A = this chain, B = another copy of it.
């Protein structure tokens, strides 16, 4: 499978209105979301873009905050076959957002399921609303998309420790020492990397505060861990 990270920023995006920090003067990040391409199938990981894309066959939604679902609003006015949206069960937020779901058909899996050539496993995360990460596996590689989260629940850690992860896409919102109860700061992201030992890690959901922090200093990055820009694309293959 191939993944393209269309967006790598947080809910406020970069630049922020009225902000003169180094990041906001130099960097541009849209809401974190990605597209996974397999043989004959396009899957959205979160629906961050409201501009028409090549329409996906399925959407894996982490949660119902607006920066992760906004792309579903135009998508629902499609026609023909339903668009299957796999998401946590969050009836109240879904009702406000999708009183008119159109062609969207919501599913709330708790066990692994097949999606084309992939096996997909929902991974409960720790956020302010019900949130799921997603583990995508085929015979070429294994991708874990863990956004938005602060740390990981024990059961999710156990499951992920037992899985060799080729590519981890991980929430790293704030500079070290942040007290955000809903997102990893950089040290917390590194701790997850050391625990899960993925072959390669891309840090996403990056705030202007973290970008400004890292523009201003040198610091130790664990091997195989990278910050990337909106639009970054790569293949997920075993051990690469």
User: Pick the contact of A30 from B11, B52, B79 — CB < 8 Å?
Assistant: B52
User: Pick the contact of A52 from B29, B56, B66, B79 — CB < 8 Å?
Assistant: B29
A103 surroundings in chain B (CB, below 8 A): 17-18
A19 near B96: Cβ-Cβ < 8 Å = no
A66 to B52, CA, bound (A): 15
Say whether, besides A52-B28, A74-B11, A96-B96, A18 and B79 are in contact (CB < 8 Å): yes
Interface string of A69-111 (1 = CB under 8 A from B): 0100111011111010000000000001000000100000000
Q: Any chain B CB within 8 A of the CB of A153?
A: no
Chain B residue nearest in CB terms to A12: B77
A15 near B52: Cβ-Cβ < 8 Å = yes
A51 surroundings in chain B (CB, below 8 A): 7, 13, 30, 49
A74 to chain B, nearest CB (A): 4
Chain A at the B interface: mostly helix, strand, loop or mixed? loop
Total copies of the chain: 2
A17 near B75: Cβ-Cβ < 8 Å = yes
B11 near A73: Cβ-Cβ < 8 Å = yes
A29 to B50, CA, bound (A): 11
A12 surroundings in chain B (CB, below 8 A): 74, 77-78
A52 near B96: Cβ-Cβ < 8 Å = no
Q: Any chain B CB within 8 A of the CB of A55?
A: yes
A55 near B13: Cβ-Cβ < 8 Å = no
Q: Any chain B CB within 8 A of the CB of A67?
A: yes
User: Pick the contact of A18 from B11, B16, B55 — CB < 8 Å?
Assistant: B55
Q: Any chain B CB within 8 A of the CB of A14?
A: yes
A52 near B18: Cβ-Cβ < 8 Å = no
A124 surroundings in chain B (CB, below 8 A): none
Q: Any chain B CB within 8 A of the CB of A141?
A: no
Binding site for B on A (CB under 8 A): 7, 9, 11-19, 28-31, 48-52, 54-56, 66-67, 70, 73-75, 77-81, 83, 96, 103
- Provide 10 A-B residue pairs closer than 8 Å at the C-beta atoms, listed in order of the A residue: A12-B78, A13-B77, A15-B52, A15-B54, A17-B83, A18-B80, A19-B79, A49-B51, A50-B50, A96-B96
